[in-house]
Structures are given as C-alpha cells and as structure tokens.
Amino acid sequence: MFRTSDWTDQKIEVVIANLLRAGVTLAASIVLAGGLVFLVRHGFAVPHYRTFAGEPSDLRQWKGIARAAFALRGRGIIQLGLLVLIATPVARVAFSAFAFALEKDWFYVGVASFVLTVLLYSLVGTTL
Amino acid sequence: MNNLEFTLLVASGSFMAGFLGALTGLGGGVVLVPLLTLVFQVDIRYAVGASLVSVIATSSGAAVAYLRDGFSNIRIGMFLEVATTVGALFGAFLAAKVSTAAIGVVFGLMLLYSGYTSTRTPVESPEDDHPDPLATRLGMNGVYPSLAGPKAYFVHRVPVGFGLMFGAGALSGLLGIGSGAVKVLAMDQAMGIPFKVSTTTSNFMIGVTAAASAGVYLSRGYIDPGLAMPVMLGVLAGSLAGARLLARTKTQRLRWVFAAVIATLGVEMLYGAFSGKI
C-alpha cells in the first residue's frame, strides 16, 4: 500500500536533482553571457517596455533564436538561454517517464507521457 | 534611463524579491509583476513573460535541495501535473483574449489572497485515518521523514485536488506566477497531505506548470530577452542567497512584513487596473 523510497526511487531523485541543477546552471550562464554582449553593444540605448509591441518574429521561434544566437547577437543568446531553461523541466518529465518504465509502473509511464505531450505541444507546436 | 541603468535597477529589485521570497517561503514570483508594472512602468504582458521565466529558474533551483530531503512525492506531483499543465495552456491562451486591465484585476485579487494565506500558521492535517481507495489505486500514499522516524500518510479527495490544480495552472498561465498558494491549498487543505510534503511537492510542480505556458508566451512575443535577463538572474541569485540564510534566521516577523507588502501591492494593482493605468 505504501511506496517507500527504495533504492531505485532514491536514485531517480538524485538523477532528477542533478539534471535540474545542470539545466539551470547552463541556462543562467548562457543568459549572463548574452546579457553582457547585449549591454556592451546596446547599454546606452533607451529601452521601450512601456508599450507592448511583441518580439520580432525571429526571437519567437526556435530557428530564428538559434540563428540569432549563432550570429552572436546578445538578445539571441539570451533567448537561447531561456529556451534551455524552459527545456529543463521538460527533460525532467521525460526522464521521469523513463524511470517509471524501469520500475514497470505503466500507469505512471502513461501519466508522465501525457504531461510530456502537453509540454512539447506548447514548446514545439507553437514556436516552430 | 538607458539599458544599462534599467538592467541594474531591475536586477537589484528582482534580487530583493527572490531573497525575501525564499526567506519567507512565500515565493518571489508574486511580487515581480507588480514591481515591474507599478514601479518600472513595464507593460503587463512583458512583465508576465519575464516573471514566468524566472519562476522556472527558482523552482528548478530549489527542487534540488528538497529532493535530497525526501519530502516531495514524485507520484502525487506527476499525477497533478496533468491538471496544472492543461490549466496552464488554457490560462496562456486566455491571456491573449482578455484585456490587460482584467489581468490586473485578477492579479490584484491573487495578491490579496496570497497575503492573507501567508499570515496563517499551517494547521497539520489530522493523524492518518482510513486510506482512500482512489488515492491508493494511484499509488499516492507515502512516507516522509519526521523527527520520530519515517511517518506514513494517506492521500484523500483526489478529484477535488485535481480540479483545484487545474485552477492553479490556469492562474499560473494567465499571470506568469507559480501560484504556489493555490497548489498548497489543494494538497494541504483538500487532499490532506502533510504540510511539508505539499509545499515541497508544490515547488517541484511549479517549474513544469510554468514551462507549459512558456512556449505559448514565447511564440506570442511576450518574452523580451532584455527584460527577462535581469529578472531571471536577479531572482535566481536572490532566492539562492535567501535559501542559504534561511537556516540561521527567525522569519516570523519578516513573513508578516512581506505579507503586508504583498497585500499592499494587491491594492495598488487593483487601483491601477480600475484607473486604466495597467
């Protein structure tokens, strides 16, 4: 009736913790690097956040962000870091699905797969 | 004000929000949007986008510490994430349909509610009674470490908790916050999960919930890199510093002060929305 945290559950949690830490560290480093490039180049320009214009289309989808980042544009690099950050919980859910499969808990493999589908729909379906 | 000055000011403000949020356990996300809209005059859609991104960072950062303690319950979290992620998608689509003033009103009410709940001391749910058949079939009952050794608990009223979680997800997607207050309400009050387990599992779920609406926000152009950069880095650094200090500080009075700040921001937000400033 009870699920005690046995060896596998313990191990899963350690892997998830490391995954999350790596994802956040990587994302924060990329965002920081992009921020420095952005500020060196545009530090003295005046920001306009008071009125909403929406981002240009190349900073709204995967391909545009990748292109902008590899062209070493500051805003593109920041956006790439934010994509890594958004992908971190997605990777966590994907790993959980895999871990439930190792435990042969097929119901929770289904639950995790459903959550993963919703996340991928939001991330890939709307930003392609 | 140029980009450099703006970045430094927003980063400092976000650092304070993350610091106080972690120190009081109330989360910094809920004060970020009022800070950006009321103080820095940022359009609420950009503010919500930047806040949502920082919520993912703090949730994932804090989860590392919680997971090691063995309080969070992966199965409860994963099952309820079905409700929060679908709710978050719904909330994110709703954000494009309603006016910014309406978002301001909902935000103001949410702040007042958060301020109110944070002043209450948690009431432990009654000692374990009878197992609930549905929760048992879903494998949700668990064990958590207590001073007297491992302690078993039963989970109750899964459908009510599931419904509340959909609401928590929708609020998260609409307002760009973690909505931890509603998540804890669902698990602690409705499902009778021990307080420590529900707060840590809630934190664990926040990142996944926020990621569900982040894709929609990104494709709609709500996430501005120049604004999200200082907000995300500031909140992350602040919350890590706050969590480090937490073990050595008495936070009861600070909780009251921060709750008062949250409630005041709620009133300001409502005023801003009704006077047409948001």
Would you kindly state where each structural domain of chain A is located, as residue ranges? 8-41+53-125
The mean pLDDT of A41-64, rounded to a whole number, is: 88
Strand partners, B151: B144
Chain A hits for B221, CB-CB cut-off 8 Å, are: 53-57, 59-60
pLDDT of residue B257 exceeding 50, the answer is yes
pLDDT of residue B47 exceeding 50, the answer is yes
B201 touches B73 (CB < 8 A): yes
B140 vs B68, residue with greater confidence: B140
The mean pLDDT of B101-116, rounded to a whole number, is: 92
Selected residue of B51, B67, B203 to mutate for chain A interface (largest A Cβ count, 10 A): B67
Q: What confidence tier does B44 reach under pLDDT thresholds 50, 70, 90?
A: very high
pLDDT (0 to 100) of residue B251: 67
Whole-angstrom Cα distance, residue A14 to residue A118? 25
Out of A34, A53, A118, name the one closest to residue B225 (CB): A34
pLDDT (0 to 100) of residue A5: 47
Across chain A, what does the average pLDDT equal? 88
B228 touches B53 (CB < 8 A): yes
pLDDT of residue B111 exceeding 80, the answer is yes
Whole-angstrom Cα distance, residue A83 to residue B142? 34
Tokens representing residue B163 in the block: 């419904």
Nearest C-alpha in B relative to A26 = B57
Q: What confidence tier does B29 reach under pLDDT thresholds 50, 70, 90?
A: confident
Across chain B, what does the average pLDDT equal? 88
CB atoms near residue B23 (< 10 Å): 22
Question: Could A108 and B63 be called an inter-chain contact, meaning their C-beta atoms sit closer than 8 Å?
Answer: no
Whole-angstrom Cα distance, residue B270 to residue A83? 33
Tokens representing residue B249 in the block: 């500080």
In Å, how far is B73's CA from the nearest CA of chain A? Answer: 10
Question: Could A79 and B152 be called an inter-chain contact, meaning their C-beta atoms sit closer than 8 Å?
Answer: no
Lowest mean pLDDT among B17-21, B94-98, B144-148: B144-148
Question: Could B43 and A107 be called an inter-chain contact, meaning their C-beta atoms sit closer than 8 Å?
Answer: no
CB atoms near residue B112 (< 10 Å): 18
Strand partners, B146: B149
How far from A3 is each of A22, A43, B16, B135, B247, CA to CA, in Å? 28, 54, 39, 12, 30
ipTM, 2 dp: 0.91
Q: Which residue is listed with tokens 């934010």?
A: A82
The mean pLDDT of B174-195, rounded to a whole number, is: 87
Q: What confidence tier does B194 reach under pLDDT thresholds 50, 70, 90?
A: confident
Whole-angstrom Cα distance, residue B157 to residue B130? 12
pLDDT (0 to 100) of residue B91: 95
Whole-angstrom Cα distance, residue A21 to residue B53? 16
The mean pLDDT of B82-92, rounded to a whole number, is: 96
The mean pLDDT of B170-175, rounded to a whole number, is: 95
Chain A hits for B69, CB-CB cut-off 8 Å, are: none
How far from B107 is each of B17, B113, B209, B227, B265, CA to CA, in Å? 17, 10, 18, 20, 10
pLDDT of residue B181 exceeding 50, the answer is yes
